[in-house]
Structure 1
Amino acid sequence: MNKQNKDTFEYLFNTYYKDLYVHALSFVRDEEEAKDIVTDVYEYIWKNFTRLDASVSLRPLLYTLTRSRSLDFLRREKSKEKFLAYQRTLPEAEEEYEEHEELLAKVMRVIENMPVQTATVFRKCFLEKKKYQEAGDELNISINTVRWHITKAMKLLRESLSGEEMVLLYVLFVKK
């Protein structure tokens, strides 16, 4: 950057910094964040100074960049807040993992006690995620027989699991 450009940049900085800071502060309401935004704007101007048209006033560009970066900050903050609120609604990951493991062990015990053909059909359709037709073709049984075995398996599961466990089972294994 030549001496003239440096002088122009310094003039822009000294002339507009405080006004841009107040402009950013009016959006973000955080002094440090407003300073960071204005610093980012000047950094952008510094890096792209040779590409800017020096024949026009840079004041509107400075205000537009400040506004844009302030709104970007607000969007990021809103996203962070939504994510944190969502995280607070979730149980602890470790507890959730243990709960899933316990449910899986319970389901596997129920499956082991099912008649062999019913257990095989259930495994193919729900654990291997095969369509009823695919399971029927592999086992050389009709799709109606597959449905009958699934109905029987679900009845046995409902008898062994609580309503909450059935919902969790559905969410974990059945929902596609």
Structure 2
Amino acid sequence: MSYTRHVLFVYYQDVLWFKRLPRCTDGFYGRDCSIPCPKPFFGWNCQLNCTCSIEDCHHVYGCRRTPLECATGKYGDYCEFSCRYPNYGNRCQLACLCDEVFCDPSSGCAEATTEAEPKSTSIFHLDNMCAEEKKNVYESNSTSLIAGIISLLIVAGLLLVLYAMAYLHNFTCIVQGDTASESTL
């Protein structure tokens, strides 16, 4: 396919069908997204061009790669697969020593918590703590509370100063306007 035909192909797909067509997965186009990209093109909307031979060009993934060219945590002829649990890392040669949900194909075991879980600040076993530990917990909480109150007071003070400056500015303008009108009489 010539470059001109490819440009026309992309134009036709993008402009004329854009609102009527669903977004096709990478490597496909058409009304029902069932037509693979014509070689040497690949990827979303067939907009990428393979720089390898036609035989090594895949309509979804592009050029065939060696295992050394795959990103960490990927494998396959086109680096299209993620490492399967418990393997991870470069060429999937390392093993996770954690549960599958915490094993990332590229970096291995992550923390046992996720960002989606709420971080609790309550202490469930406060009654089992010794008096000194309880005192440290209460001091820690009161320190945060005091810092928050001080921050709010500073913000309120700044707002009060700004309001006073605006009021004085308006008052000065009114006074100057009155004296200017008296001088013109």
Specify the TM-score bucket, using the shorter chain as the normaliser. Answer: under 0.3
Highest RCO, 1 vs 2 (Cα 8 Å, sep ≥ 6): 1
The structure with more strand, counted as a fraction of residues: 2
Larger radius of gyration: 2
Report the TM-score when normalising by structure 1: 0.22
